[in-house]
Amino acid sequence: MNALIGQTFQINQLIGIKDVIQLTVLSRSTIYAMMDQYSPYYDPSFPKSVKISQNRIAWSALEIHQWIESKLASRE
């Protein structure tokens, strides 16, 4: 979904796993491993998901973009 590229987030928009995968270029399994505190890939800085229905979660697009920006800022 290319609609997110170059978009300014002025309201807190929720995005699904497919958009998180596209924005972060991480696999689905890596994203879930980064969220699992018992995983060796756990990253406490990765944005927390939001449960929006019984079977669906989403992420804040703003928080995902901020996480990406923090990774860019911390590179050597």
Domain that holds residue 45: 13-73
Phi, psi angles (nearest 5°) of residue 21: -60, -45
Tell me: the pLDDT tens digits for 25-50? 999 999 999 999 999 999 999 999 99
Alpha-carbon radius of gyration of the chain: 13
Phi, psi angles (nearest 5°) of residue 51: -80, 115
Nearest Cα residue to 17 out of 31, 2, 3? 31
Q: Residue 20: inside a domain, yes or no?
A: yes
Residue 1 confidence class, pLDDT cut points 50, 70, 90:
very low
Structural domains in the chain (count)? 1
Residue 9 confidence class, pLDDT cut points 50, 70, 90:
low
Mean pLDDT, the chain, rounded, equals 90
pTM: 0.81
Q: The domain spanning residue 31 has which CATH number?
A: 1.10.238
